[in-house]
């Protein structure tokens, strides 16, 4: 929102989505000083503009409008937002509203003195929103821009850095020193996305003419920052729990169920069960945290003990793909069989919907990790390094039980090379195997020699017998 005089004007992705009539009607609720349907100015008893809460029907559920968050419904919401912004601008300037073509102020020539933060808010996001609403930009890409700006880039550009005074070394040094709260490095995928979003911002600025004063002109400095030279950790690298540790975590969470000393017992119990299922899916199905939060019952076959991994949710952004963009079918390990069967029954045997959810919506993995599992582990004296440790535990278990790198890679959705690099640790096995190959070769050679020598001796004996008129050679 922004203020103009005493008025508050809407901007950005304002409004709240919700459903009515058993989830078949999709609405948006907004606050505005104009009637969002007609554009008429709303006033109080004194004749002053009054901001009121209003709602508008976006769509009724159909094959095209499948859910309140479907791309087609989001597109309708974008159109409504633009209409409301036009109505409000017209009301502020005293113009009558006849259509969406509301006169606007003459454009201002681009200037390198503009701060990167202002450009993101006033130029970049509106441009990308228009592309998203017209179907030319994926909704997930738009959400990624906004999320990674809020999480990382807004702090870096800090509202003061301009295109004219920004150089590549600033971004490079910032990424080199970027750390989590516990002083550990971010994963390579996170660093890659940060760099990608920053590059996209500067590329849009270049296309709009904000880099013409730079040296050299029209050069996107973020393209000079090479991913390979930035510190990060591979997501498969890190601590792996033992199977016994994960089993202990799940058992200890059982003791947290039904705790009446804490508020909202039923809601908390649901979160605890979600935490247990997340641990189990990581340990015995090898799912990434982003994959377990997007897993749906439609992708689980309880009869065959298999599940299909084909979606992910990262930082609240839902993607119809996995990290590697490849679907995989997992025949999950035996301990997960009764766990999923019991959960399915407890949820009312649904045929669709999220496996791990809160009121049908995706849950926050960070919340499960930081607010539920970690405190329990600290109380029970168990180590906790995050849910990814369960997936690493699964990879380690696969190696310990004899899986090849190819088999383990298929199970986890890795290449055999990645699986070998992070899970198959050579403790002398390769050397011993090489020595055994040599030993077997020598034994085979010796046996071949013995056989050959035995045949020679046999022929010699047959010749001697023949000379004496005995044996086969002596028959008349």
The structural architecture, per CATH, of the domain 243-422 is Orthogonal Bundle (1.10)
Instruction: Measure the CA–CA gap between 74 and 80, rounded to whole angstroms.
Output: 10
Choose among 299, 309, 311: nearest CA to 344: 299
Q: Which helix (H) or strand (E) holds 185?
A: none
Q: Is residue 414 scored above 60 in pLDDT?
A: yes
Choice between 431 and 415, residue whose per-residue pLDDT is larger? 415
Instruction: Measure the CA–CA gap between 233 and 187, rounded to whole angstroms.
Output: 5
Query: Token pair 């085979």 is at which residue?
Result: 444
**Domain edges within the chain:** 2-92, 116-229, 243-422, 434-474
Residue 108 has a pLDDT of 62
CB 71 within 8 A of CB 135: yes
Instruction: Tell me the β-bridge partners of 423.
Output: none
* Angle of the 139-148 helix axis to the 125-133 helix axis, nearest 10: 160
pLDDT tens digits for range 155-210 = 999 888 999 999 999 999 999 988 887 777 787 778 888 999 999 999 999 999 99
pLDDT tens digits for range 106-162 = 456 788 899 999 999 989 998 898 888 888 887 778 888 988 999 899 999 988 899
List, in sequence order, every beta strand (DSSP E) within 12-79.
Answer: 16-20, 25-32, 52-60
Mean model confidence pLDDT for the chain: 83
Residue 225 has a pLDDT of 92
Q: Long-range pairs for 205-210 at CB < 8 Å and ≥24 separation? A: 205/116, 205/119, 205/123, 205/124, 205/163, 208/110, 208/123, 209/109, 209/110, 210/110, 210/111, 210/112, 210/114, 210/119, 210/163
Query: Token pair 């200037």 is at which residue?
Result: 111
pLDDT tens digits for range 231-270 = 766 666 677 899 999 999 999 999 888 877 777 878 888 9
Q: Is residue 24 scored above 60 in pLDDT?
A: yes
Alpha helices in 149-264 (DSSP H): 154-157, 168-177, 188-207, 243-254
Residue 370 has a pLDDT of 85
CB 172 within 8 A of CB 225: yes
Query: Token pair 């591979």 is at which residue?
Result: 234
Residue 320 has a pLDDT of 59
Extract the tokens encoding 56: 């508008």
* Angle of the 388-400 helix axis to the 265-285 helix axis, nearest 10: 30
Q: Give the predicted TM-score (pTM) of the model.
A: 0.52
Instruction: Measure the CA–CA gap between 459 and 2, rounded to whole angstroms.
Output: 106
pLDDT tens digits for range 329-385 = 999 999 999 999 999 999 999 999 999 998 888 888 888 888 899 999 999 999 988
Alpha helices in 208-302 (DSSP H): 243-254, 265-285, 289-292
Q: Is residue 104 scored above 50 in pLDDT?
A: no
Residue 300 has a pLDDT of 93
Q: What is the mean pLDDT of residues 302-323?
A: 72
């Amino acid at each position: 929102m922004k203020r103009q005089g005493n008025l508050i004007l809407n901007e950005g992705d304002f409004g709240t989505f919700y459903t009515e009539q058993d989830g078949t009607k999709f609405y948006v609720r907004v606050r505005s000083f104009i009637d969002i349907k007609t554009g008429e100015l709303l006033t109080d008893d004194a004749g002053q503009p009054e901001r009121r809460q209003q709602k508008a029907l976006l769509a009724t559920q159909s094959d095209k409008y499948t859910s309140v968050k479907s791309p087609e419904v989001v597109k309708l919401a974008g159109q409504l937002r633009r209409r409301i912004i036009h109505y409000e601008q017209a009301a502020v300037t005293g113009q009558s509203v006849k259509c969406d073509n509301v006169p606007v102020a003459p454009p201002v020539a681009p200037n390198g003195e503009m701060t990167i933060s202002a450009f993101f808010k006033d130029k970049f996001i509106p441009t990308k929103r228009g592309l998203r609403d017209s179907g030319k930009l994926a909704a997930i890409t738009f959400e990624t821009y906004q999320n990674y700006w809020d999480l990382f880039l807004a702090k870096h550009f800090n509202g003061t850095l301009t295109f004219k005074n920004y150089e590549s070394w600033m971004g490079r040094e910032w990424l080199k020193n970027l750390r989590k709260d516990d002083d550990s490095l971010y994963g390579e995928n996170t660093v890659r996305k940060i760099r990608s979003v920053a590059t996209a911002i500067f590329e849009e600025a270049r296309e709009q003419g904000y880099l013409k004063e730079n040296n050299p002109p029209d050069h996107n400095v973020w393209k000079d920052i090479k991913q390979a030279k930035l510190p990060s950790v591979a997501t498969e690298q890190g601590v792996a729990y033992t199977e016994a540790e994960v089993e202990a975590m799940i058992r200890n969470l059982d003791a947290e169920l039904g705790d009446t000393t804490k508020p909202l017992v039923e809601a908390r119990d649901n979160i605890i069960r979600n935490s247990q299922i997340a641990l189990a899916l990581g340990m015995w199905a090898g799912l990434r945290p982003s994959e377990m939060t997007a897993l749906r019952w439609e992708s689980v076959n309880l009869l065959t003990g298999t599940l299909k991994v084909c979606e992910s949710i990262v930082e609240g952004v839902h993607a119809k793909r996995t990290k590697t963009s490849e679907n995989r079918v997992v025949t999950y390990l035996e301990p997960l069989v009764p766990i999923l069967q019991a959960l399915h029954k407890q949820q009312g045997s649904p045929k669709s919907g999220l496996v791990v959810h809160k009121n049908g919506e995706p849950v926050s993995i960070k919340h499960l990790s930081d607010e539920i599992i970690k405190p329990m582990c600290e109380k029970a004296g168990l180590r906790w390094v995050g849910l990814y440790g369960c997936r690493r535990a699964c990879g380690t278990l696969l190696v310990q039980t004899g899986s090849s790198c190819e088999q383990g890679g298929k199970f986890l959705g890795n290449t055999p090379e990645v699986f070998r690099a992070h899970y198959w640790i050579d403790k002398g096995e390769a050397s011993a195997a090489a020595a055994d190959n040599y030993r077997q070769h020598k034994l085979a050679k010796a046996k071949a020699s013995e056989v050959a020598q035995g045949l020679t001796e046999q022929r010699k004996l047959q010749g001697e017998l023949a000379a004496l008129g005995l044996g086969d050679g002596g028959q008349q």
